[in-house]
Amino acid sequence: KEVTPEQILKYSSLAVEPLEDSIALMRLLYPVVVALSLLTAAGIAVLFVMTSAREAAILRILGTTKLRSHAMLALQTAVTSLAGLLLGVAGVLAYAGRTRPELLAGLVSASVLCAVLYLLAAIAGAVLSAVSVTARNPLELLQVRE
């Protein structure tokens, strides 16, 4: 039995339509995932700085200026985030280069863009929380709350 071009077109459209639907869904979900990732980065940075509120209070009591305390707390989180991002991006690129080298060129620019956005969100969260922590009275931060 011979297959006609119309039948080939019909069967190929049955195979391609679900893939096109998946691609459309990914185009819709990608910005949402990026936004959630950025909010997560900022939230984790805030959490890290808030856990070091006691150290910030001790620095302030010892006479460190507010600006210096801001910088120390924010840099502590920013450097940690940068180190983690560099390791993560290097791992992703090494894995992709080994398993799918044809995708590596497109993956590099997307990975770097997402890493930079993530780092900026982490820095923004760290700076804002460092300012809010050091703006309070240092003695309040040293009190143990139960």
CB-CB contact of 130 with 68 (8 Å)? no
pLDDT at 62: 87
> H or E segment at 121?
helix 104-135
Q: What is the pTM of this model?
A: 0.69
pLDDT reading at 8 higher than 80: no
Q: List, for residues 20-65, the tens digit of each pLDDT value.
A: 888 888 889 988 988 998 898 888 888 888 888 888 888 888 888 8
pLDDT reading at 71 higher than 50: yes
Q: Give the other-Cβ count within 10 Å of 80's Cβ.
A: 14
Q: List, for residues 72-127, the tens digit of each pLDDT value.
A: 888 888 888 889 888 988 888 888 888 888 877 777 888 888 888 888 888 888 88
State the helix-helix crossing angle for 104-135 and 53-61, rounded to 10 degrees.
50
